[in-house]
Amino acid sequence: MFEYTELIKNLAIKEFKLRYRNSVLGFFWSLLNPLAMMIILSLVFSVLIKSGIDNFPVFLLPALLVWRFFSIGTTMSLGSILGNAPLVTKVYFPRYLLVLSSNLANLIGSTLEFAVLLPLLFFLGMNLSYLIFIVPVILILEFILIMGISFLLASLNVYYRDIHQIWDIILQAGFFLTPIIYSSSLIPSKYYSYYMLNPVSRIIVAIRKILYYNTMPSIDDFLIPLLGGLLFCLVGYQVFRRLEPRFAEVI
* pLDDT for the residue numbered 38: 67
Phi/psi zone of residue 129: left (φ > 0), alpha (ψ -120 to 50 degrees), beta?
Answer: beta
- Listed by start position, the domains of the chain span 2-250
Q: pTM here?
A: 0.89
Q: What pLDDT is stored for residue 55 in this prediction? A: 81
Q: Give the C-alpha separation, 144 to 123, whole Å.
A: 31
Task: Name the nearest CA neighbour of 69 among 158, 145, 166.
Answer: 145
Q: Quick check: 63 and 71 in contact, CB under 8 A?
A: no
d(CA 179, CA 193): 14
Q: What is the largest CA-CA distance in the chain?
A: 58
Give the Å distances, CA to CA, from 232 to 31, 38, 107, 204: 29, 30, 18, 18
What is the per-residue DSSP string for 43-65?
Answer: IIIIIIS----TTHHHHHHHHHH
Q: Please check whether residue 138 is in contact with residue 71, taking contact to mean a CB–CB distance below 8 angstroms.
A: no
DSSP 91: -
Burial 68-84 (b: 16+ CB within 10 A, else e): bbbbbbbbbbbebbbbb
Residue 190 is given by DSSP the state H
pLDDT by residue for the chain (251 residues), tens only, comes to 666 677 777 777 777 667 666 555 555 666 666 667 767 766 666 665 565 678 888 888 899 899 999 999 999 999 999 888 888 888 778 899 999 999 998 998 888 888 888 888 887 777 888 999 999 999 999 999 999 999 999 999 999 989 999 999 999 999 999 999 899 999 999 999 999 999 999 999 999 999 999 999 999 999 999 999 999 999 999 999 999 988 888 87
Q: Is the Cβ–Cβ distance between 149 and 233 less than 8 Å?
A: no
Alpha-carbon dihedral sign for residues 138, 60, 182, 56: positive
Give the ranges where 124-162 is alpha helix by DSSP (H). Answer: 135-159
Instruction: Check: CB of residue 113 under 8 Å from CB of residue 34.
Output: yes
Q: What is the pLDDT, as a whole number, of residue 127?
A: 81
Q: Rounded distance, CA 18 to CA 27, Å?
A: 11
